[in-house]
Amino acid sequence: MIRINENYTKLKASYLFSDIAKRVNAFVAAHPAKPVIRLGIGDVTEPLPSVCLEAFHAGVEEMGHRATFKGYGPEQGYAFLREAIAQHDYAARGCKIDADEIFVSDGSKCDCGNIQEIFGTDIRLAIPDPVYPVYVDTNVMAGRTGANTNGRYEGVTYLESTPANGYVPAIPSVATDLIYLCFPNNPTGAVATRAQLAAWVAYAKANRAIILFDSAYEAYIRDPQIPHSIYEISGARDVAIEFRSYSKTAGFTGTRCAYTVVPKSLQAWDAAGNAHSVHALWNRRHTTKFNGASYPVQKAAAAIYTDAGKQQVRAMTDFYLGNAKLIREAMGRLNLPCVGGDNAPYIWINTGRDSWEFFDQMLNTAQVVCTPGAGFGRCGEGHVRISAFNSRDNVVAALERIARALK
Ligand code: PLP
pLDDT tens for residues 142-182? 999 999 988 899 999 999 999 999 999 999 999 999 999 99
- Is the distance from the beta carbon of residue 137 to the nearest atom of ligand 1 less than 6 Å? no
Tell me, yes or no, whether 352 and 393 share the same domain.
Answer: yes
Atom in ligand 1 nearest the alpha carbon of residue 111: 16
CA distance 143 to 11: 11
Ligand 1 centre to CA of 272 (Å) is 35
Which range marks the domain in which residue 172 is found?
53-307
- Is the distance from the beta carbon of residue 128 to the nearest atom of ligand 1 less than 6 Å? no
* Domain assignment of residue 1, yes or no: no
Tell me, yes or no, whether 213 and 83 share the same domain.
Answer: yes
Tell me, yes or no, whether 201 and 261 share the same domain.
Answer: yes
Ligand 1 centre to CA of 109 (Å) is 5
Tell me, yes or no, whether 257 and 396 share the same domain.
Answer: no
What CATH number does the domain containing 101 carry?
Answer: 3.40.640.10
- Is the distance from the beta carbon of residue 17 to the nearest atom of ligand 1 less than 6 Å? no
CA distance 20 to 40: 8
- Is the distance from the beta carbon of residue 109 to the nearest atom of ligand 1 less than 6 Å? yes
* Domain assignment of residue 396, yes or no: yes
C-beta separation of 139 from 125 below 8 A: yes
- Is the distance from the beta carbon of residue 132 to the nearest atom of ligand 1 less than 6 Å? yes
- Is the distance from the beta carbon of residue 247 to the nearest atom of ligand 1 less than 6 Å? yes
CA distance 94 to 73: 30
Tell me, yes or no, whether 98 and 121 share the same domain.
Answer: yes
- Residues 381-393 as b/e (b if ≥16 CB within 10 A, e otherwise) read bbbbbbbbbbeee
pLDDT value at residue 19: 86
C-beta separation of 102 from 85 below 8 A: yes
* Burial grade of 258 (CB within 10 A; 0-12, 13-18, 19 or more): buried
What CATH number does the domain containing 314 carry?
Answer: 3.90.1150.10
- Is the distance from the beta carbon of residue 336 to the nearest atom of ligand 1 less than 6 Å? no
CA distance 273 to 271: 5
* Domain assignment of residue 356, yes or no: yes
Domain end (from 307, 342, 371) = 307
Tell me, yes or no, whether 74 and 205 share the same domain.
Answer: yes
Helix (H/G/I), strand (E/B), else coil: 146: coil
Atom in ligand 1 nearest the alpha carbon of residue 108: 15
**Mode of pairing for the β-strands spanning 37-38 and 275-277:** unpaired
Tell me, yes or no, whether 163 and 256 share the same domain.
Answer: yes
CA distance 159 to 179: 9
Domain end (from 281, 307, 333) = 307
Tell me, yes or no, whether 98 and 221 share the same domain.
Answer: yes
Using CA atoms of 205, 206, 212, 217 in order, give the dihedral in degrees to the nearest 10: -80
Ligand 1 centre to CA of 218 (Å) is 12
- Is the distance from the beta carbon of residue 245 to the nearest atom of ligand 1 less than 6 Å? yes
Nearest Cα neighbor of 214 from 145, 131, 154 is 131
CA 86, 90, 95: angle at the middle one, nearest 5?
120
pLDDT value at residue 137: 94
Ligand 1 centre to CA of 216 (Å) is 6
CA 262, 166, 249: angle at the middle one, nearest 5?
45
* Domain assignment of residue 181, yes or no: yes
* Domain assignment of residue 212, yes or no: yes
pLDDT value at residue 14: 60
C-beta separation of 199 from 181 below 8 A: no
Ligand 1 centre to CA of 389 (Å) is 14
Tell me, yes or no, whether 227 and 285 share the same domain.
Answer: yes
Tell me, yes or no, whether 273 and 329 share the same domain.
Answer: no
Tell me, yes or no, whether 128 and 183 share the same domain.
Answer: yes
pLDDT value at residue 301: 98
Total domains present in the chain: 2
- Is the distance from the beta carbon of residue 216 to the nearest atom of ligand 1 less than 6 Å? yes
Ligand 1 centre to CA of 245 (Å) is 7
CA 14 to chain centre: 20
pLDDT, tens digit, 9 for 90 and up, residues 187-235 = 999 999 999 999 999 999 999 999 999 999 999 999 999 999 999 999 9
Helix (H/G/I), strand (E/B), else coil: 267: strand
Tell me, yes or no, whether 94 and 146 share the same domain.
Answer: yes
* Domain assignment of residue 58, yes or no: yes
Element (H, E) at 195: helix 194-206
Residues of the chain with pLDDT under 50: none
Domain end (from 307, 334, 364) = 307
